[in-house]
Amino acid sequence: MFAAMIVVAALGATLLISTAGMLQNTAEATSEDSSAQVSDQILVVGATGTIDVDGGDRTVDGVNLTVTTSPGAGEIDLSGASIELVGATRQRTLGYGETADAGSFAVEPLVDDDASAPVLNDRSDRFSIRISLDGDARLEPGERATIRVVGAGGSVQTKIVGAPQSLRSYEEGDDVAL
């Protein structure tokens, strides 16, 4: 009887130790994920648009976001990011692609000393995230859109862009500050 109680106690202790170890690992993983969401932020430091002329109408048919990392951030792989584009009449989610089109965004290095694109791995890295606006997603004069850059680690950077009230002075392919 005494031996049976010791075996049951040993099994109970083993189960408790195993459960405690599993909970500790889960807590550490959650902590690392939370830290990455807070510290591995993508910073949008500028936004421009590309002008399209169709007949006499001028619209913004592309957006270029200049991005870098927040201070203290680790490596941020933009190929694992997504872009949520919310316009006046349309909402889209874009994934990474080699070229910017209706379903994907592209990354072009502006400053990338170690040729790591699309991975932001140095505070001096500056990349351009290129977004194509087609059809009714194009920005008419005075229109605004919200762009959310969601990093692979879960960090979210929101940028509201707006086309100027007048685009008459711009020609096809010109860049305009948004």
Which one of 1-5, 15-19, 80-84, 132-136 scores highest in mean pLDDT? 80-84
d(CA 83, CA 105): 8
> 71: closest CA among 44, 109, 40, 113?
40
Quick one: tokens of 130?
Answer: 């290129």
Select the more confidently predicted residue: 21 or 145.
145
Residue 40 near residue 74 (C-beta atoms within 8 A)? yes
Quick one: pLDDT at residue 38?
Answer: 47
Q: Is residue 42 over pLDDT 50?
A: yes
> How does residue 29 score in pLDDT terms, banded at 50, 70 and 90?
low
Quick one: pLDDT at residue 18?
Answer: 80
Select the more confidently predicted residue: 139 or 56.
139
Could you tell me the pTM of the whole model? Answer: 0.76
Q: Is residue 36 over pLDDT 50?
A: no
Question: Mean pLDDT across the chain, nearest whole number?
Answer: 87
Quick one: pLDDT at residue 2?
Answer: 76
Q: Is residue 151 over pLDDT 60?
A: yes
Instruction: Enumerate residues 6+ apart whose C-beta is below 8 A from 77.
Output: 118, 119, 120, 152
d(CA 89, CA 146): 12
- What one-character DSSP code corresponds to residue 140? P
d(CA 164, CA 56): 16
d(CA 169, CA 9): 83
Phi then psi for residue 38, to 5 deg, are -85, -45
Instruction: Give per-residue pLDDT as tens, 104-119.
Output: 999 999 999 999 999 9
State the DSSP string of 41-100. Answer: PEEEEEEEEEEEEETTEEEEEEEEEEEEEPTT---EEGGG-EEEEE-SS-EEEEEE-SS-
Q: Which of 7-21, 31-45, 119-133, 137-151 has the lowest mean pLDDT?
A: 31-45
Quick one: pLDDT at residue 135?
Answer: 81
